[in-house]
Structure 1
Amino acid sequence: RVAGAEMAAIFLIFTSQAWNMAFSFYHSLRSIPDELIEAARNFRLSPWMRFWRLEVPFAMPALIWNMMLSMSGGWFFLTVSEAINVGHTTVTLPGVGSYIALAIEQKDLAAIGWAIGAMFVVILVFDQLLFRPLTASADWFRLDQEVGLTPSHSWALTMMRRSHFLGLLARAFAALLRAGMKPGATAPAALERRASVWDAGWVDYAWYALLALIGLVALSKTAGFVLGEVRLAEIGQVVILGLITLLRVAVLIALASLIWVPIGVWIGLRPRVASIAQPIAQFLAAFPANLLFPIVISAIVLHKLNPDIWLSPLIILGTQWYILFNVIVGASALAPDLRYAAENLGVRGWLWWRRVALPSVFPFFVTGAITASGGSWNASIVAEVVSWGQQRLTAHGLGAYIAEATIQGDFQRSVLGTVVLSVFVVTLNRVFWRPLYARAERKFRIA
């Protein structure tokens, strides 16, 4: 039982971390300049060599920043994953997350303070021993090196470079990579024939047919399970709740974009400021919404505020940083030649933002906004139902519906809410985010 709960907690934290990094890597692969791709073809790099010599180095700066954010995202969902309540069953796993959940239940402000302190220490240790060295080493992989720019330094990276043991591991890893990095001597015609097999349309059609078949089977099983307990009228009500949550997410993403895009550009163009802002943003991104429950509930009850409005900011609390981090990456990747050309031509003010800054960071902003949107839907399950001791406030929305059904152990309604949430997210991605991403990639890519 405990092992199953541990696996469930690990899976929940994994899902809050993995997709952000995967999407960042995907965006980097789509942004590789054409001349580098052509050079890889001319050198006849094998897929293994191309991955390690071109794709990974090019994606490394953005991937490191998103790794920081993913780690913070795991902290954000820690309380949900370590204190699992389903019906009359409560499973508490050892960890800071369950400690915070117990402190909220007992209204222990001192314990919450200790939890915040412990989180700060752990995040600081991660920053100094892992992310600072990675950020400093990411300077090696930047495509455009600016003359006179002071490189990043890390005392931990210096120690790692002087370590004989880590040097031995690095040499062993390099030897492993070299074993698969022998340039292929395959003739170009053979390469074209091999590529044509995989580029054939039937492969895509077969893949989509398989996905459609799996989806139909899953949909039929889910419908049979849900409709045995839930009426069609309630499904319509759940869709309306989804529209309410959609409105919240859209408004909050727009507000977060207006705030963090200018700040992210300003930070990204100043490496020294970025090194200072990095740990601060990490800590704020990792700050669980649960820790603000006493303040939020007290303010809403004291001033008789509307929970539907004033619980909404909790949704964006942990996901707004996806926008900030990705904009910082985009601004830091702005080519020095482009900046100098704008300065020489006297491009300033709003014209500079419209012609230089915003087009340069727009693909990165879209990447951050997509992940922020998806994260906000997940966060709504935590943010639309808040509790502090025996006090409980609920906002109307799909997240509250799923949370209440889970607490009551109503599996049919939990599945229904999850399916509706998934449909909203997938539809939003296909109808809005995917065309916007394609436009950003097509119009604003610097190749």
Structure 2
Amino acid sequence: MTNRFFNFNRAAPDARSDVSFTRRLVSDCVVTVGVLALFGLIAWILPAIDAPVGPEGIPSTVSTDPSNLPYYALRSVFRMAIALFISLIFTFVYGLAAARSRRLGKILIPLLDILQSVPILGFLSATVTIWLALFPGSMMGVEAASIFAIFTSQAWNMTFAFYRSLQSEPKELDEAVRNLRLSHWQRFWVLDVPNSMIPLLWNMMMSVGGGWFFLTASEMISVNNRTYALPGIGSYVEAAAAEQQPDKIGWAILTMVIVVVAIDILVWKPLTAWAEKFRITQSESTEPKRSAVLTLIRQSHIDDLLARILRPLGQFLDWITRPLGRTGSKWGAKPSRRRAGDIVFAAIIGILVIAGTAELMISIARTTGLAELGTAFGLGSITFLRVALLTALCSIVWVPVGAIIGMNPKVSRLIQPLVQVLASFPANFIFPFVVMVFVLWNISINWGSILLMALGTQWYILFNVIAGASAIPDDLVEMTRNFHITGWMKWKTLILPAVFGSWVTGGITAAGGAWNASIVSEIVSYGHHTLVAKGLGSYIAEATAHAEGMKTIIGVTVMAIFVVAVNYLFWNPLERLAARRFNIA
């Protein structure tokens, strides 16, 4: 199973037979040099990550010398890569647990709503002390806190996408793996991961974009009246903005563009072209996606090497997971016992929720007073209106654009790289320039914050819609051509129903991302200018910066309540509608 999944060739293993020996040799050499260069860069960066803290303690700022930007960019990319890998593991474990266990799913999915609503500053204020205690006297503590913060900006939308793909697996394929009585490990690599590959890959791109968006908060950590700075392009921009040096911010933006384009060429283009092998369709696309890097890899022997390394590991994991049962086996207790278990399970969860809520209310009453809770709800209502308006406008604009990009290979080839670059570019890098415009034109940040939030969260909707449109079987598209279904009728009968579920997933993650983005969008600064919008995001940011722990808890709790309530009342019914009426499978 592992050999098949890690085979980069679309065709059979002998697809390289028509490639000359010289081209294969050159491909092997280039790939080998690339892999060695990658390991060399990692070996160069690693000693600095675990460097001891100097006599002056953890730095509170970084140098703004532009010559440091290449090194800072490498450090930032390294943190992003580690966080993305951890997010992928979390996605597989959490998504599988939520999809395969009925009882766990009732807890894990609402909990995921809460987790995606907790802003990065909320996680940092609660965990940075723990990370510093785990690695005393070492920069590893701050590095771990930064990577964890980036992880909290990446994992949730990937998990939602994977969970939804598990819930919408084609019935005939599910029956096939059950009839073959594959082990759960085999099913995971044969059906679960391949079926989710296209939407998961697009959400990974979006996760990287989200990580870049919060990079300044992750590398220049300001909590409990302390600031911890790590070498990175995000902390560089923060320091340059504090010193009112727009020329150095411009150098950082140029560096960031180079980094994003390089990642697109070396990582995302090959992966999106490779993922085409997992499309469920009766016919191959007439305009397959291409990538020079993927072609180079396919002409080399890297997939054979990976298969030889990973096959024994896959066989071992298959062997140790066999006692867990096979896909076709009959599990579970009798219906009467299941109902009794559900009642006990619900009672335990209810008691825990009531006890936790009571303890929180008592703590609030003793410290800030319950009136502070009302203040937070009022500010949350203002931020909620911004999020709702942003989500509606972004849906109107990006659903048709995403569908056109995803369905038209020629358009996708031209527009997709630009979209990936724009989405991966950290929008808050241009916040200092936006603040200057707001100040000069007397634009209220109460309205301007909506634009700032949109710069970082609109891509969740666009990327999910592109993924949904890309996964539409060519057979259905060909059928609409044969029946001469065009214009609005085609949109109403094929395109919109096909991307509806993807739009729901994008809407959930976009709304959650907008709540998170309010932290850095409702309070922005450049030099001596600081603009503060009235809302829950600025409330949490100010409480965290001034070490007001209870206010931070109140703000995060209220934000979680808003997100969970909206998801329960609005998004969850739409998810059920998508699964019931608009599932292509």
Scaled by the length of structure 2, what TM-score is found? 0.71
Question: Are 2:473 and 1:328 equivalent residues in the alignment?
Answer: no
Q: Given the superposition, is the C-alpha separation of residues 343 and 307 from structure 1 closer, same or farther in structure 2, using an over 3 Å criterion? A: same
Paired position in structure 2 for 1:292: 430
Q: In structure 1, how many angstroms separate the alpha carbons of the residues matched to 2:282 and 2:213? A: 35
Q: Which moved more, 1:322-331 or 1:161-170?
A: 161-170
**8 A contact 1:24–1:66 mirrored in 2:** yes
Q: In structure 2, how many angstroms separate the alpha carbons of the residues matched to 1:190 and 1:98? A: 52
The C-alpha deviation readout for 1:316-340, integer Å capped at 9, x for no partner, is: 2111111111111111112222222
Q: In structure 2, how many angstroms separate the alpha carbons of the residues matched to 1:200 and 1:307? A: 53
Q: Given the superposition, is the C-alpha separation of residues 124 and 305 from structure 1 closer, same or farther in structure 2, using an over 3 Å criterion? A: closer
How far does residue 223 in structure 1 lie from its aligned partner after superposition? 3.4
Aligned residue among 249, 253, 256 for 2:394 = 256
Paired position in structure 1 for 2:412: 274
Question: Are 2:539 and 1:404 equivalent residues in the alignment?
Answer: no
Q: Given the superposition, is the C-alpha separation of residues 186 and 83 from structure 1 closer, same or farther in structure 2, using an over 3 Å criterion? A: closer
2:524 aligns to what SS in structure 1? Answer: strand
Paired position in structure 2 for 1:105: 242
Question: Are 2:226 and 1:92 equivalent residues in the alignment?
Answer: no
1:32 aligns to what SS in structure 2? Answer: coil
How far does residue 8 in structure 1 lie from its aligned partner after superposition? 2.1
Q: Given the superposition, is the C-alpha separation of residues 202 and 16 from structure 1 closer, same or farther in structure 2, using an over 3 Å criterion? A: farther
Q: Which moved more, 1:38-47 or 1:94-103?
A: 38-47
Q: In structure 1, how many angstroms separate the alpha carbons of the residues matched to 2:295 and 2:501? A: 34
Paired position in structure 2 for 1:379: 517
Aligned residue among 15, 19, 32 for 2:156 = 19
Paired position in structure 1 for 2:56: none
Paired position in structure 2 for 1:236: 374
Question: Are 2:216 and 1:79 equivalent residues in the alignment?
Answer: yes
Paired position in structure 2 for 1:176: 313
Aligned sequence identity (%)? 46
1:445 aligns to what SS in structure 2? Answer: coil
Q: Given the superposition, is the C-alpha separation of residues 215 and 93 from structure 1 closer, same or farther in structure 2, using an over 3 Å criterion? A: farther
**8 A contact 2:203–2:464 mirrored in 1:** yes
1:44 aligns to what SS in structure 2? Answer: coil
How far does residue 243 in structure 1 lie from its aligned partner after superposition? 0.7
Paired position in structure 1 for 2:507: 369
How far does residue 108 in structure 1 lie from its aligned partner after superposition? 1.1
Paired position in structure 2 for 1:143: 280
> Which runs of no fewer than 5 residues in structure 1 stay unpaired?
none
Letter in structure 2 aligned against 1:321: W
> Which runs of no fewer than 5 residues in structure 2 stay unpaired?
1-131, 133-138
Q: In structure 1, how many angstroms separate the alpha carbons of the residues matched to 2:567 and 2:365? A: 27
Q: Which moved more, 1:233-242 or 1:201-210?
A: 201-210
Letter in structure 2 aligned against 1:313: L
2:472 aligns to what SS in structure 1? Answer: coil
Q: In structure 2, how many angstroms separate the alpha carbons of the residues matched to 1:377 and 1:15? A: 13
Task: Tell me how many residue pairs correspond in the alignment.
Answer: 446
Q: Which moved more, 1:153-162 or 1:329-338?
A: 153-162
Paired position in structure 1 for 2:251: 114
Question: Are 2:298 and 1:161 equivalent residues in the alignment?
Answer: yes
**8 A contact 1:86–1:406 mirrored in 2:** yes
1:65 aligns to what SS in structure 2? Answer: helix
Paired position in structure 2 for 1:431: 569
1:228 aligns to what SS in structure 2? Answer: helix
**8 A contact 2:536–2:555 mirrored in 1:** yes
How far does residue 42 in structure 1 lie from its aligned partner after superposition? 1.3
The C-alpha deviation readout for 1:9-35, integer Å capped at 9, x for no partner, is: 111110111111111111111111111
**8 A contact 1:286–1:318 mirrored in 2:** no
Letter in structure 1 aligned against 2:400: P
Paired position in structure 1 for 2:102: none
Aligned residue among 252, 263, 288 for 1:126 = 263
Q: Which moved more, 1:137-146 or 1:437-446?
A: 137-146
**8 A contact 1:76–1:285 mirrored in 2:** no
Q: In structure 2, how many angstroms separate the alpha carbons of the residues matched to 1:265 and 1:300? A: 34
The C-alpha deviation readout for 1:241-266, integer Å capped at 9, x for no partner, is: 10110110000000000000110111
**8 A contact 2:184–2:322 mirrored in 1:** no
**8 A contact 2:181–2:328 mirrored in 1:** no
**8 A contact 1:294–1:388 mirrored in 2:** yes
How far does residue 43 in structure 1 lie from its aligned partner after superposition? 1.1
The C-alpha deviation readout for 1:169-223, integer Å capped at 9, x for no partner, is: 322213432455589899999932x344799345555554554455445444443
The C-alpha deviation readout for 1:365-415, integer Å capped at 9, x for no partner, is: 101111101111000011000101010111111001001111222111111
The C-alpha deviation readout for 1:42-96, integer Å capped at 9, x for no partner, is: 1112211111111111111111111111111111110011111224311111111
Q: Which moved more, 1:268-277 or 1:19-28?
A: 268-277
Q: In structure 2, how many angstroms separate the alpha carbons of the residues matched to 1:213 and 1:114? A: 55
Q: In structure 2, how many angstroms separate the alpha carbons of the residues matched to 1:381 and 1:282? A: 24
Aligned residue among 445, 450, 454 for 1:316 = 454
Q: In structure 2, how many angstroms separate the alpha carbons of the residues matched to 1:148 and 1:423? A: 45
Paired position in structure 2 for 1:247: 385
2:194 aligns to what SS in structure 1? Answer: helix
Scaled by the length of structure 1, what TM-score is found? 0.92
